Amino acid sequence: MVASTLAEVARLAGVSPATASRVLNGSARKPGPDIANRVRQAAESLGYVANAQAQGLAKSSSGLIGLVVHDIADPYFASIARGVQVAARNQGRMVLLATAAGAPEAEREAVAAFAARRADSIVLAGSRSARKEDTDANSALATELDRYCANGGQVAVVGHPVVGATSGTGYHVVAVPNEALAASLAADLTVLHTGRFIVVAGPESLFTSDDRIRGFQAGLAAAGREPAEVFRTQFTRSGGHAAGLSLARRIAAGEKDLCIFAVNDVMAIGVAAAIRGQDLRIPRDALIAGFDDIETLRDFQPELSTVHLPLEDIGAQAARRAGGDMDFIPITGHVALRRSTHHEE
């Protein structure tokens, strides 16, 4: 079936295409009620579907929010996306979604695509990286965002600013207190655990991971404890599982009294699965804690100690700020100590 055109609607209504466009695409310059009704009746009889891009040009707004996440299958990003969706619905907007797997070049491509579709605002949710191999891609992403903001776009970034971005107007950061919360977690764990600590972390120069390592080490130091050993791996469940296999071998060989802090919950789940797969038990053979308090933890046993972040609220606040709402409350969180860090009697 061939779609009806605006010219056909105009011909049936007996008006010019420009007049039909003003009626159907939402222009502030509308003809009289009789003409407008005639145009709408013609459009309905022909089954005409308005062009969203033309409507955006007429209204100077597309009604679209672009959202870029690391991985929508990751519960952390799924919760943030849900918050963005709720805020967008309240604003009468629709969300365009792209996943970038943490690659700044993929983020740049998404931003360029959203800009080409005249998205009113863009939310970036994903850890920033200062790795040497990302230098050129970070620079290209920053340039793309600066260009978008210079043309009237609004951007909100969750966590850290994009490396190299210089735009002041239309550029907002929703800060997450990762370092302070990780320090609080360490302080609480030192009360429960007198042995050694190990941090399972993401690759070096991944900002979120590094913030959480730094905070955790500071919390240990404030309690008069030795620094934790840092085990670097991928910032994913698979990375946590690989680290867990190595740690399980050490535990099986006689290394005891360990408390493992994985810098996000999906990594903690991977570590725990690997340890349990070697006929070891948590918390009997090792204690473990995570960070984020993702929704899927409600089905995890033993209950995982973690740091609770209001993930949906973070997403909603990012969408609101990108939409121009500057009335916001700083993001906070709290330590949630559960069964996974309590020694068995």
pLDDT digits (tens, 9 = 90+) for 46-104: 777 665 555 554 445 678 999 999 999 999 999 999 999 999 999 889 999 999 988 99
For position 328, what pLDDT does the model report? 77
Angle 258-261-265 from CA coordinates, rounded to 5°: 135
Q: Which domains does the chain have, with CATH numbers?
A: 6-59 (1.10.260.40), 64-174 (3.40.50.2300), 178-308 (3.40.50.2300)
Of 22-26, 124-128, 134-138, 337-341, least confident by mean pLDDT is: 22-26
DSSP H or E run through 258: strand 258-262
Tokens (6 digits) for 294: 């993702």
Tokens (6 digits) for 293: 């308090």
CB atoms within 10 A of CB 39: 26
Average pLDDT over residues 310-320: 95
**Cα within 13 Å of Cα(235), Cβ side:** 25
- Displacement of CA 95 from its chain's centroid (Å): 14
- Is 159 strand, coil or helix? coil
How are strands ordered across the β-sheet holding 171-174? 94-99, 64-69, 121-125, 154-158, 171-174
Tokens (6 digits) for 251: 């535990």
Instruction: Indicate if the alpha-carbon torsion angle 43, 48, 52, 58 is positive or negative.
Output: negative
Q: Is residue 320 over pLDDT 50?
A: yes
For position 3, what pLDDT does the model report? 60
According to DSSP, the residues that pair with 334 across neighbouring strands are 308
CA atoms of 62 and 116, how far apart (whole Å): 11
Residue found under tokens 């006689």: 254
CA atoms of 127 and 334, how far apart (whole Å): 20
pLDDT in tens, 167-225: 667 889 999 999 999 999 999 999 999 999 999 999 999 999 999 999 999 999 999 99
For position 69, what pLDDT does the model report? 96
pLDDT in tens, 248-305: 999 999 998 999 999 999 999 999 999 999 889 999 999 999 999 999 998 899 999 9
For position 57, what pLDDT does the model report? 46
Which stretches of the chain are assigned E, i.e. beta strand? 64-69, 94-99, 121-125, 154-158, 171-174, 196-201, 229-232, 258-262, 287-289, 306-308, 334-336
Return phi, psi of residue 99, to 5°.
-110, 145
Contact (Cβ atoms closer than 8 angstroms) between residue 262 and residue 233: no
For position 152, what pLDDT does the model report? 86
Contact (Cβ atoms closer than 8 angstroms) between residue 274 and residue 245: yes
CA atoms of 228 and 212, how far apart (whole Å): 12
Tokens (6 digits) for 25: 């695409």
Q: Is residue 130 over pLDDT 80?
A: yes
According to DSSP, the residues that pair with 198 across neighbouring strands are 229, 260
Number of DSSP helices (H) and strands (E) in the chain, helices first: 12, 11
Amino acid sitting at position 85: Q
- Displacement of CA 143 from its chain's centroid (Å): 21
Tokens (6 digits) for 94: 């629709």
Q: 325 Cβ partners below 8 Å, 6+ apart?
A: none
Which stretches of 177-257 are assigned E, i.e. beta strand? 196-201, 229-232
**pLDDT confidence of 1, banded at 50, 70, 90?**
very low
C-beta pairs of 161-169 under 8 Å, 24+ apart in sequence: 161/128, 162/124, 162/128, 162/138, 163/104, 163/128, 163/129, 163/130, 163/134, 163/138, 163/139, 164/138, 164/139, 165/141, 166/142
Query: CA dist 211 to 55, 73, 169, 204, Å?
Result: 44, 24, 27, 11
- Is 52 strand, coil or helix? helix
